[in-house]
C-alpha cells in the first residue's frame, strides 16, 4: 500500500513533511524485529531502514530483536532466558525540525549504536544522501497517533527530560531500571506480562517497507541492572515544614494534608509536576518501565492528598484532572482490577480528591474546578464503571453530614 494514500497526503504535502519532519535511519536492524515509535509498533521487513515524517518534539523510539519478538509471541515471557534481552528497549529523543538521527544495530551487544559512536564520514554521507533512503523509511503515524501522543506529552519539556533522564545520545529506557524499592514482585510482573501478551499489541500504521505485522507490547521480566531514572525525590511520610518540627499540630495537619510538601516540591528548579506525571506514565505505558509506575503512584498520592493547595492554586488542579483523564483513557477498561492497581489505591485517591475539592472554598469561586471534577467523575463512570461520589449532591452525603431541617 502507498503510505501517502493511507495518509490522504498529496505529493506537495509529502515533500513538505519530508523536508520539515525528522528522520531516523537505522542500519542493520534484523528482519522481523519489533520497531516502534510512541504508541505504534510494527514487525520490520527486509527493506526497512528507519522512519520519516517524525514531527519535531519529544518521541519514544523502541525496538526488540527478532528472536525475542518471536519467542514472546509464541511462548510468553515465562519461558524466556533471564540472561537474554527479552524486553523492549527504547529511548526518548527530542527531535529538532529536519533532524536526521542515524543508528546502527550492534549484533554483538544486541542493541543500537548511535551516530556519535559511528564513523562520522559514514554518518555525514547518509545525511547528505538522505533522499536515497526515502523508499526504505516507514512513515510516522501522523493521522492515527500524533494527536494522542501530543496529549500525553504536552507538559514535558526538554529541560525536564535532561534533568530526569540525565540523558545523552542513546540513553535507553529498559522495562526495569535499578530502583531502591518497588512494590511489584516478580510474580506480579509475570502476571502483568501474561495479561499484556493475551491482550495484544499497540496500534499499527502503514509503513513504507515490505511486510509489517502488528507486534506485541509485552512487559518482560529483566534481571540485568540498568541506569536509574532520576525522578524528583520526596518523602510522603515527612510532608511537613521541618522548621516547624516543634509544633505537634503542624506535623499532624501536614502529615494528612500534603499541601506543604506539594508546594515545596513545585518550587524546586526545573520541576514541573504535570510534565513529570506525564513522563512517568509514558515510561510505564510505552517504555514498559515499572519505576515510572512507582513515581506516577507517588505523584498521585502527593497531589490528590493536598487539601489546602486546592484553594491556593485551583488552576493547577484543573490541569491535573485533564492530564489524569487523558492518561486513564489509555488504560484498559479493567485497569482498576489489573495487577498494578489491585489494592485499589487509585479509587481511594480519586475519592479523596473529589471530596477535597467539594470541601474547598475555591469550588464557589472557580467554576472551571467544578466542571473539571465533574468531567473526571463522568469519565470514570463511563469507561471503568467506577462511581466517584458526587460531592455536590446531598444524596451522597453521610447521614450526619446532611443539613438539619428544623420544623417551626
Residue 277: is its pLDDT beyond 90?
yes
CB within 8 A of 190, min separation 6: which ones?
A: 77, 78, 221
Q: Which three cell numbers stand for residue 112?
A: 543500537
389: how many CB neighbours lie within 10 A of its CB?
A: 15
Q: H/E element holding 291?
A: helix 290-304
Q: Are 145 and 40 in contact (CB under 8 A)?
A: yes
> Which pLDDT does position 68 carry in this prediction?
57
Q: Cell 551487544 belongs to which residue?
A: 109
User: 313: closest CA among 276, 271, 368?
Assistant: 368
- Which option is the CATH number for 3-199: 3.40.640.10, 2.60.34.20, 3.40.50.300, 2.120.10.90? 2.60.34.20
Q: What is the pLDDT of residues 335-348, one digit of tens each?
A: 666 544 455 788 88
* 308 CB burial (10 A radius; 0-12, 13-18, 19+): middle
| Residues forming a β-bridge with 137 | 50
> Which pLDDT does position 197 carry in this prediction?
35
Q: Which three cell numbers stand for residue 23?
A: 528522520
Residue 46: is its pLDDT beyond 80?
yes
Q: Does domain 242-401 have CATH number 1.25.40?
A: yes
Say how far apart CA 247 and CA 362 lie, in whole Å: 28
Q: How confident is the model at residue 9 (pLDDT cuts 50, 70, 90)?
A: low
Residue 319: is its pLDDT beyond 70?
yes
Q: How confident is the model at residue 83 (pLDDT cuts 50, 70, 90)?
A: very low
Q: What is the pLDDT of residues 219-239, one digit of tens each?
A: 333 334 456 789 999 999 999
3-199 and 242-401 have identical folds: no
Q: How confident is the model at residue 17 (pLDDT cuts 50, 70, 90)?
A: confident
Q: How confident is the model at residue 202 (pLDDT cuts 50, 70, 90)?
A: very low
CA angle at residue 203 from 202 to 208, to 5 degrees?
A: 120
377 to 328, 338, 355, 386: CA distances (angstroms): 12, 20, 12, 8
Q: Are 374 and 322 in contact (CB under 8 A)?
A: no
Kindly compute the dihedral angle of the four CA atoms of residues 199, 376, 154, 180, in this order, to the nearest 10 degrees: -60
Q: H/E element holding 89?
A: strand 89-95
Q: What is the pLDDT of residues 364-396, one digit of tens each?
A: 999 999 999 999 999 999 888 888 875 445 554
158-165 vs 273-285: helix crossing angle, rounded to 10:
60
Domain boundary assignment for the chain: 3-199, 242-401
Say how far apart CA 174 and CA 91 lie, in whole Å: 9
* 107 CB burial (10 A radius; 0-12, 13-18, 19+): exposed
Q: Cell 530502583 belongs to which residue?
A: 179
> Which pLDDT does position 10 carry in this prediction?
67
Amino acid at each position: 500500500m502507498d503510505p501517502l494514500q493511507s495518509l490522504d497526503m498529496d505529493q506537495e504535502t509529502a515533500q513538505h513533511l519530508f523536508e520539515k519532519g525528522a528522520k531516523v535511519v537505522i542500519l542493520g536492524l534484523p528482519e522481523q524485529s519489533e520497531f516502534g515509535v510512541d504508541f505504534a509498533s510494527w514487525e520490520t521487513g527486509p527493506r526497512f531502514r528507519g522512519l520519516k515524517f517524525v514531527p519535531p518534539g519529544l518521541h519514544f523510539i523502541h525496538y526488540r530483536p527478532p528472536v525475542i519478538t518471536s519467542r514472546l509471541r509464541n511462548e510468553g515471557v515465562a519461558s524466556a532466558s533471564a540472561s537474554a534481552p527479552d524486553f523492549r528497549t527504547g529511548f526518548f529523543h527530542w527531535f529538532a525540525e529536519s533532524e536526521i538521527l542515524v543508528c546502527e544495530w550492534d549484533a554483538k551487544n544486541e542493541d543500537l549504536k548511535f551516530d556519535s559512536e559511528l564513523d562520522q564520514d559514514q554518518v555525514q554521507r547518509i545525511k547528505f544522501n538522505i533522499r536515497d533512503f526515502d523508499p526504505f523509511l516507514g512513515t510516522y503515524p501522523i493521522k492515527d497517533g500524533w494527536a494522542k501522543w501530543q496529549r500525553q506529552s504536552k507538559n514535558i519539556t526538554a529541560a525536564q527530560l535532561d534533568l530526569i533522564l540525565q540523558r545523552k545520545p542513546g540513553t535507553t529506557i529498559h522495562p526495569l531500571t535499578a530502583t531502591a524499592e518497588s512494590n511489584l514482585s516478580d510474580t506480579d510482573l509475570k502476571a502483568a506480562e501474561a495479561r499484556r501478551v493475551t491482550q495484544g499489541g499497540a496500534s499499527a500504521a502503514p509503513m513504507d517497507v515490505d511486510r509489517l505485522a502488528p507486534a506485541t507490547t509485552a512487559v518482560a521480566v529483566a534481571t540485568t541492572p540498568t541506569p536509574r531514572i532520576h525522578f524528583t525525590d520526596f518523602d510522603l511520610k515527612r510532608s511537613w515544614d521541618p522548621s516547624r518540627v516543634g509544633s505537634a499540630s503542624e506535623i499532624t495537619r501536614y502529615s494528612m494534608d500534603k499541601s506543604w510538601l506539594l508546594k515545596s516540591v513545585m518550587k524546586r528548579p526545573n520541576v514541573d509536576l504535570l510534565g513529570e506525571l506525564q513522563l512517568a506514565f509514558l515510561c510505564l505505558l510505552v517504555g514498559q518501565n515499572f519505576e515510572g509506575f512507582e513515581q506516577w503512584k507517588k505523584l498521585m498520592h502527593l497531589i490528590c492528598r493536598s487539601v489546602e493547595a486546592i484553594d491556593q492554586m485551583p488552576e493547577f488542579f484543573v490541569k491535573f484532572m485533564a492530564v489524569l483523564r487523558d492518561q486513564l483513557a489509555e488504560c484498559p477498561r479493567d485497569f482498576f482490577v489489573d495487577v498494578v492497581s489491585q489494592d485499589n489505591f487509585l479509587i481511594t485517591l480519586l475519592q479523596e480528591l473529589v471530596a477535597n475539592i467539594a470541601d474547598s472554598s475555591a469550588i464557589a469561586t472557580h467554576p472551571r474546578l467544578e466542571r473539571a471534577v465533574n468531567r473526571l467523575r463522568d469519565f470514570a463512570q463511563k469507561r471503568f464503571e467506577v462511581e466517584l461520589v458526587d460531592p455536590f449532591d446531598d444524596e451522597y452525603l453521610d447521614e450526619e453530614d446532611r443539613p438539619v431541617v428544623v420544623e417551626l
